[in-house]
Chain A
Amino acid sequence: MARYGMVMNVKTCLGCKACMAACSQWNQTPFWAEDGGKWRTRVTELQEGKFPEVKREFFPTICMHCVNPPCHSVCPTGATYINKDGIVLIDYDLCLGCGYCIEACPYDARYEYEKEDLEKDEFYFGEDARHHQVHVDKCTFCVDRLAEGEEPSCAATCVGHARIFGDLDDPKSEVAQLVNSGKAKPLGEYMGAQPKVYYIK
């Protein structure tokens, strides 16, 4: 048993979007969808100020794997569940696709994996396609990579080491030290969802 979490170091995110590409290739997320695709992880560009006092920032987001996830409490079928390692997951067989969870998530982490997406998944990945039924989709911390002893795809490839993944219960882990020192803080703490993704800004 572990308590997995991630620290996003916004200071070192270089804005290269390797994470988005990496995630989409491991998890076969709909990069093909219109208007720039559907993603489990995104990097949003922010800008503040006027030339030359303008600040540009790259802001990475994923599912926050909350301790108290609103998506979980609204799910009518119990498809959304929290596994032993604290990862918020969806059982595709139980997912009705009602979309309540998409609305409930304050971090905009979920989207629909639609019929067209299933077709495209097969078009791009052939018999290696991983999605065979419509469902709501979101970040899993690459639970299947963890099972193979690998880091989540996004963190494994993050050029700026802006995504630091690990066990929050292991005091020696970099992620635990950053969180315990108070250096990294969750987003929108006031909402009470208790995210396990923390930010250094």
Chain B
Amino acid sequence: MISLNRRSFLKISSLVGGGLMFFKPTAKAGLYTPNVKKPKGSIKYYPNICSFCSTACDIVVRTRVNGDFKKPQKIDGNEKSTLNRGKICARGQSGIRTVYNPDRITHPLIRVEGSKRGEWKFKKATWQEAYDYIAKKVKEHNIKPHEFSIFAGQRACAYERLGAFAFLASIGSPNMIGSPMQQCVMAEHAGTDVTVGTMTTHDEFLVDMDNAKLLMTIGSNAAIAGISVSRGVRFAHGKEYNKMEIIAVDPRQGEVAAKADMWVPIKPGTDLPFLMGIIRGVMEKKGYEDQFLRRYTTAPFLLTENADGFPEALGQNTNPQELPFSQGYYVYDEITQTIVQVPGFTNDNLKENKNLKPALFAPKGLTYQGKAVKTAFDYLWDAVQKATPEWTAKICDIPKKTVEEIIYKFSTIRPATVYPGWMDARYETTVPARKAAAILNVMLGAMDKPGGWIFNPEMREGIEKFTEAYEAGKLNNPMALTMAVANCSGLLGMMGKLEGMMYSGKFPLFRGWPHFSRAYFDYRKQKGEKGIPFSLFTNAGFQEAVEGKLSWNGKPYQIKMAYIYSTNPLKDYYGYKTWVDAFTNPNLKLIVVTDILPSDMTKFADVILPDKTYLEKESEIMPDGPNPDMIIRKRFPSVSQIGEAKGGGEIFTIISKAFNGSYQTAAGIVSTFTGWNFKTVAQQLRLAWEGKKELYKAFGDIALEEVGKKLGMSAEQLEKVLEKKGVLKLKDGEELMEEAGMPYKLPVPTFSGRIEIYSTLFAHFNYAYGYDEHWNPVLAYIPIEYRKGANEDFMPKDNEFFFAFGKTPQQTYLTTADNPLLMSITERYPEENFGFWINPSRANKLGLKEGDKVEVENTVSGQKVKSFVHLTELVRPDTLYVMSDFGIDNKMLTYAAGKGVDLGRLIPNRLGPVTAGAMSCQFTVKLRKI
């Protein structure tokens, strides 16, 4: 290995180390060698928030400071953090390599006149020139606010949401595509959210794996050990120190399954029937938490079959124009043996009558006003009735014994929990499958108590405020209710924003225009297709809006300008060609892209504006993500100016100015949603809009003052504390759970206030969008079709396979693939990171050896990609697996270009039901040796 190198090595060594025998051993290994001068300056530590994935770990940056000059040397986890407990992953460790990445965009770039989008012909420009170009185009094409859409990617969505909202408010556009929501989280979270009232904290909960005795993960590899550090530390701790038993359900043995006590490699696409099988078993064995379900959930609600044939709660608000709050629901009281009304919004079915014993199962033949009624729990039992262990084992292609064993464990072990999950393979059944997982977790009573799903302080604060206003009767007029809901946390907050603001077409700020997706649903309706009820901040209808197919109130609704900030639709939104077509469409008069690195998307820009990395950025005061402890934190920059990069926040104000955007309107929205003093906000935003202060420095200063007031500290004092510690703990999570347990003391943010086994929101969707099994208010089995002629019983043969993808712990898609350090770790394992995983038993039959080149064809879309095969026993024989983090093609990316498989070219752009999720694995693939 070293024989050839050694000769030159020795030669150089003899020069450098000349006369070495005369020296005493003074150089200390790993330290600066003594003959070299140490660089000037002193060491300081600046706290920050990691930006490499949505976990947002607390970090500390060791920085060399010399006067105004700052250079980061090393990043570590913040030891004071109870979120990531002082640890960070490889991505977090590699942050400085992104700051000083030689590929960075350091100046504004304008596409050379006469060149085409996609060619990469740009010339350097000043910020003034870039602004003038944008302003000129906006004027020239008379681009109106609703003809503008932002693609708010990972950084905007996870860390700069306030800025993005302020920006849209300032120009009056309703068109926000976030990340996009459905591909990032919504495709799964929707099922969890409608059940327990959460929304948009990735994974939704910091599951208390320290205290759980039994954990089942299903499609959650990335969310725990794939890796999310705040989850990874708890997972490993629970496993080692609390002997937590782990069941990992995954067609591939990912990192979580590798650590599990039981790996259950079910057939891809069978999560829903699998979970139904477990629910049925636990119900049959009466292994559920009876008292919990009776009191705090909608399980005892009496339901009837409505005229359209779907279950509807007695008392359900059926007006599609209203948010689905109700005056009251009905339960069957086992003590008085009568049907009684319970409050419309409460945490506890016994709130008004402690002597009530709501039945989980209604007596046979029960009727109400002549209609046959059953409980939601009855409906659940009916829905899972056919999922016997035999049936489940057959559909999922696993031994019956395994199903029975899991049922037994869930019926006997406590605390037991099911991981809510994030970023797994998606099918049309993903939302009901996640709903089933949430229902199972609720049946185990694993809500807001040790070993279960723990709410974060934001959720508690939000719902407490809302409940007070609701109970005081302050929300009687529709606008007050809409704003209070939009201002609430979790599901209520999101639905308020969605139906009250973005979709209504009535919100004054947007001058009568709804989000373009809403106009797109009307367009679908004309074609006889259903709308997509839960597609909050998605791209549903973007293509049609660009193509000029949409209208609203008889007026054409076209998107003419896109601002794409830190996201790569060509790859992350699936359907590469669909997006190339959209972005090269001449109807799109202006595309502005902001990014740190020259992503594939930047190739299609008219103007590229360089973003700063998180280590260069300011921030507002932020909560500690999903952490149950109440903690505040803030970013403190640790890098001197690089090139002419400006932060995304500053760029918001620049684009806003091109639209004559109003900082007052922005201040109004910010003040409404944060509760901050309007005058203070307006003063600071004025400075930002005048270019005198970075937007996030302004937000930071407002927050320091406003939060400081609440804590009885001056802004300076608070800033000092935050700069020193990075995190400031205001209240312990356990105390909060005790004082404000949800649903024990406070409602959860659903429309009934309870945990919803029967979803009042899904019922609402039926009135607004028509009935669909995918949003059945309880649960329905939906047999999937992998491709035409391949239904639930299908077993692929010959060169055909199911398809699955995941991610490697060292990467987070585009944001990290061009990091030289992370790519180096990745390239140590090129087979597993760049190749298609195939089980040797199938490879042998096809005559394939390790590394053989193959073409993989999607049997539904016809898309084809090329790579090679990696033979491994870690995957089911009927499944082809690949990593999703690679396949970037912009040659400007030194480290990432041309490596791995681009999923955007294998997965088509399809809008699935419920959330517009891409059904990213609902097809089969055929493999050919090339």
Contact = CB atoms under 8 A, between A and B. Distances in A.
Interface string B390-424: 00000000000000000000000000000000000
A143 B29 contact: yes
Contacts of A91: 25-29
Interface string B72-108: 0111110000000011111111101100100000000
A35 B130 CA distance: 41
Given A16-B232, A22-B93, A115-B12, A93 B877 contact: no
Interface stretch (B251-259, B734-742, B771-779, B843-851): B251-259
A75 to B, nearest CB: 11
A9 B240 contact: yes
Interface string B201-243: 0000000000000000000000001010100110111011000
A161 B73 contact: no
A90 B820 CA distance: 27
Interface in B9-26: 9-10, 12-14, 16-17, 20-21, 23, 25-26
B25 A18 contact: no
Interface in A91-125: 91-99, 102, 112, 114-115, 124
Contacts of A112: 2, 5-6, 9
B39 interface: yes
B31 interface: yes
Interface string B835-863: 00001010000000000000000000000
Nearest to B253: A56
A170 to B, nearest CB: 20
A19 B14 CA distance: 33
A182 interface: no
Nearest to A142: B30
Nearest to B91: A21
Contact of A93 (B33, B96, B225): B33
A14 B9 contact: no
B94 A160 contact: no
A67 interface: no
A133 B74 CA distance: 22
B258 A58 contact: yes
A124 B98 CA distance: 11
Contacts of B93: 18, 21-22, 24-25, 157
Interface stretch (B333-341, B513-521, B823-831): B823-831
Contact of B825 (A36, A58, A140): A36
A32 B820 contact: yes
Contact of B23 (A9, A47, A94, A142): A94
Interface string A161-192: 11000000000000000000000000000000
A81 B16 CA distance: 21
Best-buried of A35, A134, A156 by chain B (most CB within 10 Å): A134
Contacts of B27: 91-94
Nearest to A57: B258
Nearest to B16: A133
Contacts of A24: 93, 821
B94 A56 contact: no
A102 B2 CA distance: 9
B222 to A, nearest CB: 12
Contact of B90 (A18, A132, A156): A18
Given A15-B809, A17-B809, A112-B9, A144 B30 contact: yes
Interface in A19-44: 20-22, 24-27, 31-33, 35-37
B822 interface: yes
Given A9-B240, A14-B227, A51 B875 contact: yes
Interface residues of A, number: 73
Interface in B255-283: 255, 257-259, 263, 265
A130 B282 CA distance: 60
A66 B13 CA distance: 26
B255 A157 contact: no
A143 B874 contact: no
Contacts of A96: 10, 13-14, 17, 20
Nearest to A162: B236
A12 interface: yes
B42 interface: no
Contacts of B10: 96-98
B64 interface: yes
Best-buried of B21, B93, B100, B253 by chain A (most CB within 10 Å): B93
A159 B233 contact: yes
B237 A124 contact: no
A140 B832 CA distance: 31
A57 B258 CA distance: 7
Given A25-B94, A51-B875, A157 B87 contact: yes
13 contacts: A14-B259, A14-B809, A15-B258, A17-B810, A36-B828, A47-B872, A51-B841, A51-B877, A95-B13, A96-B14, A97-B12, A132-B33, A134-B13
Interface of B: 2, 5-6, 8-10, 12-14, 16-17, 20-21, 23, 25-36, 39, 64, 71, 73-77, 86-94, 96-97, 100, 225, 227, 229, 232-233, 235-237, 239-240, 253, 255, 257-259, 263, 265, 809-810, 820-822, 824-825, 827-830, 832, 839, 841, 872-877
